[in-house]
Amino acid sequence: MNDLFWLDTGGSGPPLVLLHGGFLDHGMWAGQIPHFAARHRVIAPDARGHGRSANATGPYRLADDLAGLLRHLDAGPAVLAGVSMGASVAVDTALEHPDLVRAVVVTGAGTSEPYFTDPWTVQAMSSWHAAMAGGDLEGSIDGFMAFAAGPHRAEADVDPRVTARLRAMARTTMAKHAAGEPAHLVQVRDTWERVPKIGVPVLAVHGALDSPDHLAMAARLAAEVPDGREATVEGAAHYPNMERPGVYNEIVGAFLDGL
């Protein structure tokens, strides 16, 4: 665990693990960590290759990294709450290490096997990946920020304090990587086929202004698990916990209270 960074704070209540989105870090949870730490043990790691965690030097799976951390901290079973990439890690961990998971909260993702069909998302993904493949750091950050605004707004329409935080985190993580570096991440397979076997409560918290594909994948997950439910945060896109932290905290808090 020496190559991974995490925060471990709060009381002795049931563990809550906050899993950040791709190219971000635990800082995206600044509006949640102190709030939930009043009643829960809150753990917020930086995924491998993100934030203050080391880059990978060999094959790895994010779900296995998380499982190793939870066992190291004796923190399972825990509620896993994730946004985007973090949501997929939460689901993968529930599939691969079910003994460590008490419940799952997802936003902007279904599993680690996404699919994109709506024109806005396909175009945004294409532009973003082209910038990353070309080693264009600023272009990559701009492409990433399209998802923060979503298909219904421009970046200028989002609270500048939120976009500044997102840009700073994305720049820190993207700068750790080089175009053409080896891809060590190993994917978890057959996730959608196994989703109905997830035996813990799952809550999908949608940002109402997120892209149709991201909304649909999270909704599909909630519909296909035995105990799934949904809630929506109005006026937010891919990162509702950052845009409207009070509403997000209220929704997740009610879910935690009902477990």
Does residue 251 register a pLDDT over 90?
A: yes
**Cα–Cα dist 40/38, whole Å:** 6
Q: Would you place residue 217 in the very low, low, confident or very high pLDDT band (cuts 50, 70, 90)?
A: very high
**Local structure of 115: helix, strand or coil:** coil
Q: Would you place residue 132 in the very low, low, confident or very high pLDDT band (cuts 50, 70, 90)?
A: confident
Q: Which of 249, 247, 205, 207 is nearest to 230 (CA)?
A: 205
Q: Would you place residue 131 in the very low, low, confident or very high pLDDT band (cuts 50, 70, 90)?
A: confident
User: Which domains does the chain possess?
Assistant: 5-116+182-257 (3.40.50.1820), 119-174 (no CATH)
- Confidence at residue 11, expressed as pLDDT on a 0 to 100 scale: 83
For 31, which DSSP code? T
Q: Which of 200, 173, 146 is nearest to 14 (CA)?
A: 200
Residue the block writes with tokens 């699919």:
115
- Residues contacting residue 111 through CB under 8 Å, at least 6 positions apart: 88, 91, 92, 95, 188, 191, 192, 195, 217, 221
Q: How far is CA 49 from CA 89, 121, 160, 186, 190, in A?
A: 14, 25, 26, 14, 24
| Tens digit of each residue's pLDDT (9 = 90 or more) over 160-204 | 999 999 999 999 999 999 888 888 999 999 999 999 999 999 999
- Confidence at residue 181, expressed as pLDDT on a 0 to 100 scale: 85
- Confidence at residue 133, expressed as pLDDT on a 0 to 100 scale: 84
Structure tokens given for 106 = 């997802």
Does residue 1 register a pLDDT over 80?
A: no
- Confidence at residue 220, expressed as pLDDT on a 0 to 100 scale: 98
pTM above 0.85, yes or no: yes
Q: Which amino acid is at 102?
A: R
Does residue 23 register a pLDDT over 80?
A: yes
- Confidence at residue 45, expressed as pLDDT on a 0 to 100 scale: 98
